[in-house]
């Protein structure tokens, strides 16, 4: 199957009242977990990787091309519609490299900048990406970060958002409505009234970053207010680590070390991490309503 249009996946989700999870991946096993679960659940997929927490030296050396190549290769062989996203690139050069490597959707992490600078940076990304027939997601407003108490949240202003979307011609907008990055305990307090006001003035699909701490009970209301995509990362890495930890703990006598590391056999510690990861993804696809949408 050919790579699916990122924006068409989100537009269909908005029309039909569900959301697609962007389950951020970081290696072959995690990428496989996403695509295998999407195929099993008959869900459209957004397969991708992020630049926010990876070592920038590695990304700038060859990491972007390595991850983009793995991601696109899996997407091209997927049995469900799958887009390829480079999420939260840190520089415009990384965006360019991601586009050249085959990503058909990109996002540069510029939400920390003042409005005019964020808008100008996003316009440059849009110009580059649209010339390659790729979509662009941007973020307006700024999320709190549970790993950094000094980070100040800034809610997305509906008037600014309307101007931002109109002038940048961005394809999807991530918003700040109380959602929090890297929230591993408890849940965020979501401002549904702000989200409602945003949905009235913005025609493009809305996106929620910080999906790990997004309260389950608020998901249907968010989808009803135009949210078509939830980004999940922290929760997935925790599941993967838990699966690997349990697998290592269960090893009594590793006489055949090859079986336990990258053998793809059931005793492979990464296969067991992947199995735990797939459980999390499966439950989220059901929650977001994307399961069963591919006939």
pLDDT exceeds cutoff 90 at 60: yes
User: 154 pLDDT exceeds 90?
Assistant: yes
pLDDT of res. 18:
98
- State the Cα–Cα distance between residues 145 and 148, nearest whole angstrom: 5
Q: Measuring CA to CA, which residue among 185, 238, 186, 230 is closest to residue 205?
A: 230
- pLDDT score recorded for residue 273: 98
Query: 19-40, pLDDT tens digit by residue?
Result: 999 999 999 999 999 999 999 9
Q: Quick one: pLDDT at residue 150?
A: 83
In this prediction, residue 74 carries a pLDDT of 97
Please say if the pLDDT value at position 227 is more than 80: yes
- Give the residue carrying structure tokens 């600014």: 160
Confidence of residue 78 (pLDDT cuts 50, 70, 90): very high
Work out the pLDDT band at 263, boundaries 50, 70, 90: very high
Residues 198 and 141: beta-carbon distance below 8 Å: no
pLDDT of 17 reads: 98
pLDDT value, residue 188: 95
Task: Considering only residues 210 and 150, tell me which one the structure prediction assigns the higher pLDDT.
Answer: 210
- Strand-pairing partners, residue 136, are 106
Domains of the chain, earliest start first: 6-234+281-288 (3.20.20.70)
Please, what is the average pLDDT of the chain? 96
The confidence score (pLDDT) of residue 293 equals 98
Give the pairing of strands 180-181 and 206-208: unpaired
Give dist(CA 252, CA 74) in Å, integer: 34
Query: What single DSSP character describes residue 143?
Result: -
The answer to whether residue 246 scores a pLDDT higher than 80 is yes
- Ranges of H-type helices in the chain: 6-16, 28-41, 56-58, 64-76, 92-100, 115-131, 158-168, 192-201, 219-224, 234-249, 257-260, 269-288
For the residues 223-238, what does the mean pLDDT come to? 97
pLDDT of residue 149: 84
Residue 176, token pair as written in the block? 């700040």
Q: What is the mean pLDDT of residues 185-201?
A: 96
């Amino acid at each position: 199957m050919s790579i699916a249009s990122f924006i068409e996946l989100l537009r269909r989700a908005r029309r039909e009242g569900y959301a697609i999870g962007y389950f951020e991946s970081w290696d072959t096993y995690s990428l496989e977990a996403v695509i295998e679960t999407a195929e099993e659940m008959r869900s459209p997929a957004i397969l991708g990787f992020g630049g926010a927490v990876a070592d920038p030296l590695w990304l700038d050396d060859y990491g972007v091309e390595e991850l983009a190549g793995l991601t696109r290769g899996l997407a091209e062989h997927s049995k469900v519609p799958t887009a390829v996203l480079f999420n939260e690139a840190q520089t415009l050069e990384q965006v360019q490299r991601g586009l050249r490597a085959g990503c058909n959707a990109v996002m540069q992490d510029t939400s920390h900048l003042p409005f005019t600078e964020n808008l100008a940076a996003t316009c440059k990304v849009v110009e580059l990406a649209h010339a390659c027939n790729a979509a662009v997601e941007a973020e307006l407003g700024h999320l709190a970060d549970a790993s950094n108490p000094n980070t100040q949240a800034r809610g997305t202003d509906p008037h600014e958002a309307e101007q931002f979307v109109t002038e940048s011609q961005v394809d999807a907008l991530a918003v700040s409505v109380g959602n929090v990055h890297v929230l591993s305990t408890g849940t965020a307090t979501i401002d549904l009234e702000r989200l409602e006001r945003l949905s009235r003035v913005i025609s493009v699909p809305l996106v929620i970053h910080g999906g790990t701490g997004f309260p389950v009970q608020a998901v249907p209301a968010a989808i009803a207010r135009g949210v078509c995509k939830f980004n999940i990362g922290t929760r997935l890495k925790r599941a993967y680590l838990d699966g690997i930890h349990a697998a290592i703990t269960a090893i009594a006598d590793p006489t055949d070390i090859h079986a336990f590391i990258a053998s793809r056999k059931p005793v492979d510690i990464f296969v067991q991490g992947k199995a735990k990861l797939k459980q999390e993804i499966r439950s989220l696809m059901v929650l977001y309503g994307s399961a069963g949408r591919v006939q």
